[in-house]
Amino acid sequence: MAKNVNFRSIGPTTYLSPVPVVMLGCADPAKGIRPNLITVAWAGVVCSKPPMISVSIRKERYSHGIISETGEFTLNLTGEALCRATDFCGVKSGREVDKFAAMALTPIPAAGLTVAPAVAEAPAYLSCKVKRIIELGSHDLFLAEVVDVNIAEEYFTETGAINEEAMQLVGYVHGKYRALSDVLGFFGYSIASDEALERRGLKR
């Protein structure tokens, strides 16, 4: 493999990629706050047991206050059909726009949660409960436990497997939304037997 002997610094920046790009759903009906969406790319898995994710949100964002107050939100995965709506929810504020209405999306009750809505048009969503908020600087880090995950029926095969390719998931790479394509391998494929590789349609 070619060695990249020469590197050029671009300075300290958040150059990790790809990162997920998901629509976070929240609401606070007790305060008259309608279902709202905010797009987050500063998100990640942080623990397997218990299953936990993190999202980072600027203090000044409308959703920051809602989630801090209610302690719950959904993360709705983005397929290609939702890419434009996802971008819109990242550049507009819920203070001025009803993003569900503007993007013709449908808020539905989320399994395991009380007030935060899921997006009916999403291929899958995670129901999350906030456990801890940590101030970091421009963003506050919300550490949350995943209490349930729901996947649209159409992505299950007859045998009950999940057809993830059909979700046409989107990744975020330095300001660009990129489609995911070919499967290059599966976890452990570098040490798998020829038989295991062939069964999964891969070559050594």
Q: Specify the residue, 33 or 144, whose C-beta has the smaller distance to a copy of itself.
A: 144
Buried b (16+ CB within 10 A) or exposed e, 102-115: ebebebbebebbeb
Q: Specify the residue, 33 or 170, whose C-beta has the smaller distance to a copy of itself.
A: 170
**159 interacts with a copy of itself by CB under 8 A:** no
Q: Specify the residue, 32 or 157, whose C-beta has the smaller distance to a copy of itself.
A: 157
Q: Specify the residue, 91 or 95, whose C-beta has the smaller distance to a copy of itself.
A: 91
Shortest distance (Å) from residue 21 CB to a copy of itself: 9
**104 interacts with a copy of itself by CB under 8 A:** yes
Q: What angle do CA 146, 150, 156 make, to 5 degrees?
A: 140
**92 interacts with a copy of itself by CB under 8 A:** yes
**147 interacts with a copy of itself by CB under 8 A:** yes
CA 84, distance to chain mean position in Å, is: 15
**29 interacts with a copy of itself by CB under 8 A:** no
CA distance 202 to 185: 7
Enumerate residues 6+ apart whose C-beta is below 8 A from 131. Answer: 52, 143, 144, 145
Contact with a copy of itself (CB under 8 A) among 30, 47, 101, 196:
47
Only one residue has tokens 């062939």, namely: 198
Q: Specify the residue, 18 or 65, whose C-beta has the smaller distance to a copy of itself.
A: 18
**80 interacts with a copy of itself by CB under 8 A:** yes
CA distance 191 to 194: 9
**CB of 174 within 8 A of CB of 18?**
no
Contact with a copy of itself (CB under 8 A) among 130, 133, 151, 166:
151
**176 interacts with a copy of itself by CB under 8 A:** yes
3-state secondary structure of 94: coil
**82 interacts with a copy of itself by CB under 8 A:** yes
**73 interacts with a copy of itself by CB under 8 A:** no
The DSSP bridge partners found for residue 172 are 19, 177
Q: Specify the residue, 1 or 32, whose C-beta has the smaller distance to a copy of itself.
A: 1
Whose CA is closest to 86, among 99, 73, 67, 74? Answer: 99
**141 interacts with a copy of itself by CB under 8 A:** yes
Question: Which 49-68 positions form the footprint of a copy of itself (CB under 8 A)?
Answer: 49-54, 56
